[in-house]
Amino acid sequence: MLTLLIAVGTFVGYLVAYHTYGRWLSRRIFNLDASTVVPSRALQDDVDFVPTRKEVIFGHHFTSIAGTGPIVGPAIAVFWGWLPALLWVLLGSVFIGAVHDFGALVVSLRNRGQTVGEIAGRLITPRARVLFLLILFFALTVVLAIFGLVIASIFAMYPESVLSVWIALPLAVLIGVRVHRHGAGLLLPSLVALVVMYAAIWVGAYYLPIRIPPSLGDPVIVWTVALLIYCFAASVLPVWILLQPRDYINSHQLVLAMGLLLLGVCVAGFTGQADLAGSAPMLATAVPAGAPPIWPFLFITIACGACSGFHCLVSSGTSSKQLESETDAQYVGYGAMLLEGGLAVLVILACCAGVGMGKFTREGGQYVAALAADGTALTGRAAWELRYNLAGNWGEFGLAAKVGAFVEGGANFLAAIGIPLELGIGIIAVLVASFAATTLDTATRLQRYVIQELADTLRLKPLTNKYAATGLAVVLGGALAMVPGGAAMQPGRGGLILWPLFGATNQLLAGLAFMVLVFYLRRRNKPIWFAVVPMIAMLVMPAWALIWQLFNADSGWFWPGWAMLTGQQAWAWQNSHLLCGIGMIAMVLQAWMVTEAVLLWPRVHGVLEETLPPLEPRKTSGQPVMAGGSGS
């Protein structure tokens, strides 16, 4: 029953938060006005700036921010116990994450759709702009490597998910062209595409699991390369061709999958099949050897789902260029973050109560119950402890294994409502891969913007071209992904080496985005207390975690391996110092930007920043894209 109460209470609480705290921010702090001319109309080019209905942009925004972060983070963090993870997700998403996303979106809307990095140059100092862009560049490079490898790992582990994920691409292009050129509605064809995707899950689960032949090499490497090629195309195409319709289709698929999960949680909790308290510890009394302390690492392990700096890039990089009305910002910016928090809660329940419903293995293409030594089925705490080996070593907490915990636990929830285990595994695996894929191509487009902005500042004219900038983004992300890693130092695991660094730098980015928001409000004599506290938390916690990782002997980043080593030891030495080097750079850039802000702070109260130059008269390309039509 505890499982049921948490699931229902979470979504009711989020509805209350949206209509109270979210409305207060919208009306009293940001004063959203439907008559304001938004960037998608003032700068409409039908490539990046495209006026879009809020339901469509909500789908893009939600699927872009909710990548593997709200899945991997909670799936790892529950080893400290499910209660700390749950509290951080619930409180963080309402008072920190949603404020961060909403604020970044509004500030960008009122600065012609500029990214938070560009805006920092006018709100703080020109140097702050360059520092912010450099931090974004490093963070997005890591995102491209990690998310590409996570999707590739899902494809390799669950081949039944491949067909459905890839079949969405041609469907999206057909729908995008139909809507844009013929003014057709979007909802009906998207629902048809949703049916096709679910049919593809069924075909993949029972008849056509797609596996990479051994002759082509490591499946993870092959899939990573294919995904990066796709990302190049998705980044340079107009948003209406692929990004918008694909994200809209995916939003239906993802919300449906989440709805099935929530229904499964309710049924399993009501019938007693799911026992949260009996499956996993509320507060862990033992942790794996070498694991970092819960404080401050809980706050960087769970980023997406509570608060994530990457979200400010989506808010200010793509979503602000597509909103057709300023009053849609609460629905998109605040609402999408709360829904992502709901996803994170479902992940926590799946990785604890869901895993405790039963452990299974794949034999001969079929999934069967895993048995204990006495021949009984593994359930409850025994099943959970088999997945979360608290007596083991922290280095064994692999990303793929923890994503597998969510897939297993989620499939158990779906089985509670009568969905066969094989099909349930396909649905949850497609959920994970689709979330990650939407984040991956959005991150590529964002990295293209960052590279172009840096190139323009540093006068590197060739990289201001969108094809050259996108090519550099993809090549750097791919090169990082191909760095050998893992216990066997296999090629194609490099992004996973940087996962600990990703959490810290991602949350530092959130702190810096809050800093931009606070300066924006202070210059306008607006209340700032609600943003200052989250800003301090998101600057201090990740900096504390980075310092621990850099200089604590247990972390292995700085102290070991100064002697000359060979073979696997040499690779481990290089990887440790790769982490150390990037971590040092991130710390220096953050400290520099904070120093710039502190020195300027006494002089900005009530002093508006320099206005943007007036726009030159220009023609728009016609009617808003995906702004409605019959059947929409």
Count of CB atoms situated within 10 Å of the CB of 562 = 9
Reported as a single tens digit per residue, the pLDDT across 98-130 is: 999 999 999 999 999 998 888 998 999 888 888
Q: Which residue, among 545, 542, 533, 590, has the nearest Cα to 99 in the 3D structure?
A: 533
User: pTM to 2 decimals?
Assistant: 0.89
CB 507 within 8 A of CB 538: yes
Residue 539 domain-assigned (yes or no): yes
Weakly modelled stretches of the chain, pLDDT under 70: 182-185, 363-365, 390-400, 484-500, 553-578, 616-632
Q: Is the peptide bond before 296 cis (omega within 30 degrees of 0)?
A: yes
Boundaries of domain holding 560:
2-212+219-391+403-486+495-603
Q: Which residue, among 556, 543, 545, has the nearest Cα to 77 in the 3D structure?
A: 545
Residue 631 domain-assigned (yes or no): no
Output the pLDDT for position 292: 84
CATH number at residue 139: 1.20.1740.10
Reported as a single tens digit per residue, the pLDDT across 408-467 is: 899 999 999 999 988 999 999 888 888 788 878 888 988 998 899 889 888 888 999 999
Residue 500 domain-assigned (yes or no): yes
Output the pLDDT for position 536: 95
Residue 195 domain-assigned (yes or no): yes
Output the pLDDT for position 404: 82
SS3 state of residue 363: strand
Residue 314 domain-assigned (yes or no): yes
d(CA 539, CA 131): 15
Residue 549 domain-assigned (yes or no): yes
d(CA 374, CA 379): 13
Token pair, residue 24, equals 């207060």
Output the pLDDT for position 611: 87
Output the pLDDT for position 6: 95
For residue 464, what is the DSSP state? G
Residue 612 domain-assigned (yes or no): no
Output the pLDDT for position 563: 40
Count of CB atoms situated within 10 Å of the CB of 455 = 18
Number of H helices, E strands in the chain: 27, 2
Residue 623 domain-assigned (yes or no): no
Output the pLDDT for position 146: 80
CB 522 within 8 A of CB 608: no
What is the number of domains present in the chain?
1
d(CA 95, CA 99): 6
Count of CB atoms situated within 10 Å of the CB of 603 = 7
CB 438 within 8 A of CB 64: yes
d(CA 111, CA 380): 53
